[in-house]
Amino acid sequence: MSSKKVREQFAKLAVIAVSGGLVATLALPAYAFNQDSGQGNVAALAPKEVITQTFASAPAVELAVSRDGYSATKPAPVVASVAVNRFVTLNPPAQTYSGAAVVAYGMQFVGIVPYGMGNSPTTSFSCDGFTQYVFKGFGISLPRTADAQARYGVRISPADAVPGDLLWWPGQHIGIYAGGGMLLDSPRWGRYVELHPIWGNPVYLRLAATP
């Protein structure tokens, strides 16, 4: 082969080598780009880390709310009201029932609670309201009106009467026998509960049954 042809062959091989190098060089950035892009896609597809936030809850505090000139707040505790006796400070009755205890309990109203149509020391006492209230303090329930109360008594002689028995004027009046010829009652308008001598001819009664 002539030297000219040899030189031509070497020239062709050189061109092919250079071209291959250029292709490889150009392919590297693209390959690198594709690699980076692939890693980005993997990162994008990787599960996200979930962060859980916790909060410490303090006890709820009730606040007053105001709107349109009105306010709402927690109502104050209900306090049971106690009736105040405007006439006398009551002493509890004796625990053991006896005629003397009945008289002693009724005596605290003498000169203090006025006559009226009531059956409570906070208002007034009628004659039957007074006896009803006093005996109720010992667990004995009596109806209103003198005649209705008398139906729960047994007639006795004046000589047998003891403190705590009832004295009854039919259709008129009723009171409590206090002993020694004395009567404890709420007599009439303009007066108060009194302890005074027995008047007229009452019927002496001893309670035998209650409603």
- In this prediction, residues 57-62 reach a mean pLDDT of 41
| Structure tokens that stand for 11 in this block | 């020239």
Instruction: Please write the tens of the pLDDT for every residue from 184-199.
Output: 999 999 999 999 999 9
Flag whether the pTM goes above 0.85: no
Q: What is the mean pLDDT of residues 76-100?
A: 61
Once rounded to an integer, what is the mean pLDDT over residues 105-113? 96
Tell me the pLDDT band of 130, cut-offs 50, 70 and 90: very high
Closest CA to 149 of 136, 163, 162: 136
Q: Is 182 exposed, middle or buried (0-12, 13-18, 19+ CB in 10 A)?
A: middle
pLDDT of residue 139 exceeding 70: yes
SS3 155: strand
Least-confidence region, from 27-36, 87-96, 121-130, 158-167: 27-36
